[in-house]
Amino acid sequence: MINKEIMKAIYALNPSVVTIRGDVAYDANDNVVEYDKAAVEAYVQANQYKAQRAAEYPDFREYLDGIVKGDQAQIDAYIAACQAVKNKYPKGA
């Protein structure tokens, strides 16, 4: 079984793929679609920062709570926490 990030890469790089079973990709007619595993791995590596950021971003409800309360310090803390995650996992690193 392949992980979610690899599946996203296969779909992104191969528009004809409509389903993946195991590590085999299929088109709408259930024909096997060959895909370049090296290109998939490169795509995953290039986009890895997105998954890393998503796992560490603070809960957006903290931001919304700060807006509702009119608490600028809470809003600023949320923005700072997000920026720290972006700095930790920069694009293209």
Query: Rounded CA gap, 81 and 79, in Å?
Result: 5
Per DSSP (E only), the strands in the chain are 19-21, 24-26, 32-33
Mean pLDDT in the chain? 94
Radius of gyration of the chain (CA): 19
Q: What is the pTM of this model?
A: 0.65
pLDDT at 93 over 80: no
Q: Is 88:48 a contact under the CB 8 Å cutoff? A: no
Amino acid 84 reads: A
Domain boundaries, the chain: 1-48, 57-93
Q: Which amino acid is at 56?
A: E
Interval 56-89: pLDDT, tens: 999 999 999 999 999 999 999 999 999 999 999 9
pLDDT at 71: 96
